[in-house]
Amino acid sequence: NAGVTQTPKFQVLKTGQSMTLQCAQDMNHEYMSWYRQDPGMGLRLIHYSVGAGITDQGEVPNGYNVSRSTTEDFPLRLLSAAPSQTSVYFCASSYGQGRLINEQFFGPGTRLTVL
Amino acid sequence: GENVGLHLPTLSVQEGDNSIINCAYSNSASDYFIWYKQESGKGPQFIIDIRSNMDKRQGQRVTVLLNKTVKHLSLQIAATQPGDSAVYFCAENILWGLSEGAQKLVFGQGTRLTINP
């Protein structure tokens, strides 16, 4: 299994540009999520999905959209990039058993810089 | 409010010594906790977890202790090795949002563990 994969690894955008960060997992996990990590801080939840066709907002959703058309893929879209979105983005997935996340598997991250 | 924090932002230990990383949480309804290790340039890696019906759980060279009375979590690493150098995060699992079954992990800020030879 490849686990959780993310592309691209690095990206530089200009303010106002849009782009999509890709995330895929091959473990048949129902629960997927996107986090951002800023220097010296822990991870903050952007959006999450408890299954195909279901998404919901996390702590810091503004400026981002997600969709979950398949179990495997969970792309994150930046609508109009801003310097405040410069960060490292992590995608994660896990089995879902009711309200318990259980172990989350993280991807390698995408380092995004917005100029 | 929701707050998962760490008592110490950095910890330096001698190789071979035991390391103890502490974490405080404020949500008394949290029932599941995880410790993650993050090496430079990589995503967080699961180390060990514990549910609120337990006080202690042991893994390979690691032990997690949970004190629900004072809402405190700790990670103990035995015989610390150079490969243990990383940032360690505690996270608590709480219900979140509108979707049935929705949960989120609230992460602490992390403790950087450095190993002295």
Report, as an integer, the average pLDDT of A106-114. Answer: 96
How far apart are the C-alpha atoms of B50 and A53, rounded to whole Å?
Answer: 30
For the stretch B8-43, pLDDT in tens is: 489 999 999 999 999 998 788 888 899 999 998 899
pLDDT band for position B1 (cuts 50, 70, 90): very low
Q: Is residue B75 pLDDT above 90, yes or no?
A: yes
The answer, for A115 touching chain B at a CB cutoff of 8 Å, is no
Q: Is residue B108 pLDDT above 90, yes or no?
A: no
Residues on chain B touching A4 (C-beta within 8 angstroms): 43
In this complex, the residue of B42, B46, B95 whose CB is nearest that of residue A103 is B46
Q: Taking CB atoms and an 8 Å limit, are A100 and B99 in contact across chains?
A: no
In this complex, the residue of B32, B105, B109 whose CB is nearest that of residue A41 is B109
Residues on chain A touching B89 (C-beta within 8 angstroms): 42-43
Average pLDDT, chain B: 86
For the stretch B42-53, pLDDT in tens is: 999 999 999 999
**Which of B45, B49, B56 has the alpha carbon at shortest distance from B88?**
B45
Q: Is residue B103 pLDDT above 90, yes or no?
A: no
C-alpha distance from B29 to closest chain A C-alpha (Å): 13
Q: Is residue A70 pLDDT above 50, yes or no?
A: yes
Closest residue on chain A to B112 (Cα): A40
For the stretch A8-65, pLDDT in tens is: 999 999 999 999 999 999 999 988 999 999 877 788 999 999 889 999 898 899 999 9
Q: Taking CB atoms and an 8 Å limit, are A104 and B104 in contact across chains?
A: no
Residue B26 and residue B90 in contact, taking contact as beta carbons nearer than 8 Å: no
Residues on chain A touching B105 (C-beta within 8 angstroms): 43, 45, 101, 104
How far apart are the C-alpha atoms of A30 and B97, rounded to whole Å?
Answer: 16
